[in-house]
Structure 1
Amino acid sequence: MALVTGIPKVMNETNTFLRCPPIQDGAMALMFVMIIELIVGLPGNTAAIWIFCCRMKFWRPHTLYLFNLALADLLVLISVPFRIHTHLRFDDWVFGEVWCRINLFMLAVNRAASIAFMTTVALDRYFKVVHPHHRISHMTSSQAGKMAGLIWTIVIALRVPLLSMNLLRQHGNLTLCRSFSSYTVTPVVIKVHYVAYIAEFFLPWFLLLFCSAKITYYLCQRKMIQQKKVRRAIIAVGVICLVFTICFLPSIATGLSFLYIKRFYPRDCKSYKPLVKLFMMSISFTYLNSTLDPIIYSSSSSMFHNAFRRSMRDLGIRKKKVKTTSRETNDC
């Protein structure tokens, strides 16, 4: 292994990552998508947290889960400007090795936390509808807070190893900061990261599909589908399934395809290049999750929906008062 300015460079002639030139056009497209998502997602999630903290009088367990989902989205959006800057420089990372670790750690943690809390909200809806007498359906806000704390602990613990190794890679004149790179021998830390990345999609995805199908079947059997409260539960889980699939399935599908090519056809740059482009573009869908989650807040919680409408109504009244005062001042 050779060292270039302290950054490890893998010297394996059969390694796809080194043989194929870095992909740049996908990085630029991803940058523009991330800018749009930052412009929309940051104010949207900031407003959601303000509504949770300042406009809701009390929280139920599912409200607490939704707040943690909003918090995860806000934290991941704070990390996005550094990725935008990197893509603007055609994937050249200039913020140093330590911040590379922290940035990738934050992105991984918040992606996993978003998935975990989306799944928890769906499971909460499932138990409330299908098993209303189960003790999970009667959790207190205090118990839900402990559950949220446990989720954060597990998510962070699984990603702490990312902080223990150098994730910078030198590729020609570019310094790349990526958790998904090619190695002569893949470190155990990265293997754990790969397994967690895949498992945290498939297990929650199957749970979400199960909850959606079970709720719909249960309510159709009992002919309760027309009740407003019941329809909201179906819509809530359906929206979560849709957002989850749109945001996370593309990166998993392209990522697994990329790993397959890298493992079995390491010299096939012709297949490697389009897959890398698709994988980089699919990452933008992951960030899209932070932009779409306010839809989940509104569809999953009537309390949030009502608080949001009150806030908009109050804001409209205040604007009218300001305009009226302004006219009266001008008349005088």
Structure 2
Amino acid sequence: MENSTYQLIEDCKATNRALYKFYAAVMIVIFILALPLNASVLHLFIFKLKFWKSNSNNIFLFNLVLADILLLFCLPIKAYNFIQGERRSENDTVCKAMLFMLFLNRGASIAFLTVTSIDRYFNVVHPGRKNLLKALKKSPQISILIWLLLLPLTIPTMLKTFECCNSHKTTNDDTLVKDVVDSLREVVFFTQIVIPFIILVYCTVHIVNRLRKKTVGDRTKLRRAVFLVTAVMVVFSVCFLPCTLARMVLLITRVKDLSERHQDKAAVAFDGLMVLSYMDCLLDPLVYCFCSTKFKALYLSNYFPFLVRDAQVSFDSSTGNASHPASHPTSNNVI
């Protein structure tokens, strides 16, 4: 039985077919729910908000939803592999392409969530201070730069087939190149989650402190900023931190060369928590609502007009501002 489990691990096969079929079902549900949601958000950014003309965070948020949609297209392939009892595609080209897309778009999603929180931090904690981010956020340059910086981080996934997360696994053909590639891959995986999380904690703490010290003035803007960074923290805590901890446990079992049974349990847990990480495609729209004071009203008025109780909100796509009829100056449609 031990040899059978060992062989399944080495061949990148699922040792628990029923559990991996459940993982596949979860990914299919995420895909079915998240695709129309993100597509509708993308439609608003392009045809209603005209994000490229906006003087707000819409450029960042557009890139965030774009990363989520590109990530979603990987899920049906991943689900199919799991249903077939494979932890990865047996086709090396498909396998590497999938890893490239997953690394790139997960990294982009994390990066744009972090940049959005940093921007809100400067607006709230240092409102009068000039900063490079504030100057560049109105143009696409910084978004293009982020995508370009993420591309080299995917190189470790393309140098050698990602053997089912078997990094640093003890084998007879260990080489220095293999160790370097494995180490680069793990550095990319951990830094793209741990460093942004530290930044988010820093931004959250300072924004909350700013809210507590604010005794006069507009506290609504500060509360909205707290909601934003809290939403981002929830996305990180639910989606990314569990799989990071599972990855750490998995690496420990590899490096210490524990029994195949322990390695298999660690790998199965990691695969399951990676599936959970794809939930960020469903949670990110919460960030859109908390980040933009107009987005919720615009979304409801376009897709769920029957939920809009008060006067309709007219939207100026060139400025990203909502206006209300004079008879309803305090409409609740805009968060």
Worse-matched range after superposition: 184-193 or 42-51 = 184-193
Q: 1:84 to 1:19 in 2, by over 3 A?
A: closer
Pair 1:289 & 2:280 matched:
yes
Offset from partner CA, 1:272-313 (integer Å, 9 cap, x none): 233222111101121101111111111111132232122135
Q: 1:121 to 1:273 in 2, by over 3 A?
A: same
Provide the rounded CA distance (Å) in 2 between the counterparts of 1:124 and 1:93. Answer: 38
Q: Counterpart of 1:321? A: none
Task: Tell me if the contact between 2:211 and 2:219 (Cα under 8 Å) persists in the aligned partners.
Answer: no
Q: 1:292 to 1:142 in 2, by over 3 A?
A: closer
Pair 1:80 & 2:75 matched:
yes
Q: Counterpart of 1:10? A: none
Higher helix share: 1
Provide the rounded CA distance (Å) in 1 between the counterparts of 2:8 and 2:258. Answer: 6
Give matches, 1:36-47, under 5 Å. Answer: 36-47=29-40
Offset from partner CA, 1:158-217 (integer Å, 9 cap, x none): 1034233334x5xxxxxxxx4555463334333212101001111100111111111000
Q: Counterpart of 2:318? A: none
Provide the rounded CA distance (Å) in 1 between the counterparts of 2:13 and 2:155. Answer: 31
TM-score (norm 1): 0.80
Q: Counterpart of 1:4? A: none
Q: Counterpart of 1:327? A: none
Worse-matched range after superposition: 81-90 or 305-314 = 305-314
Provide the rounded CA distance (Å) in 2 between the counterparts of 1:183 and 1:304. Answer: 51
Provide the rounded CA distance (Å) in 2 between the counterparts of 1:90 and 1:21. Answer: 6
Provide the rounded CA distance (Å) in 2 between the counterparts of 1:225 and 1:235. Answer: 18
Task: Tell me if the contact between 2:211 and 2:223 (Cα under 8 Å) persists in the aligned partners.
Answer: no
Q: Counterpart of 1:216? A: 208
Offset from partner CA, 1:229-260 (integer Å, 9 cap, x none): 22111101100111111100110011100100
Task: Tell me if the contact between 1:124 and 1:137 (Cα under 8 Å) persists in the aligned partners.
Answer: no
Task: Tell me if the contact between 2:207 and 2:222 (Cα under 8 Å) persists in the aligned partners.
Answer: no
Provide the rounded CA distance (Å) in 1 between the counterparts of 2:83 and 2:209. Answer: 49
Worse-matched range after superposition: 23-32 or 127-136 = 23-32
Offset from partner CA, 1:94-138 (integer Å, 9 cap, x none): 562212111110011111111101100110110000011122388
| Aligned residues with identical type, % of pairs | 26
The size of the alignment, in residue pairs, is: 294
Q: 1:183 to 1:315 in 2, by over 3 A?
A: farther
How far off is 1:140 after superposition?
4.4
Q: Counterpart of 1:274? A: 265
What CA RMSD, in Å, does the superposition of the two structures yield over aligned residues?
2.8
Relative contact order, CA 8 A, sep 6+: which one is greater?
1
Provide the rounded CA distance (Å) in 1 between the counterparts of 2:299 and 2:35. Answer: 17
Q: Counterpart of 2:65? A: 70
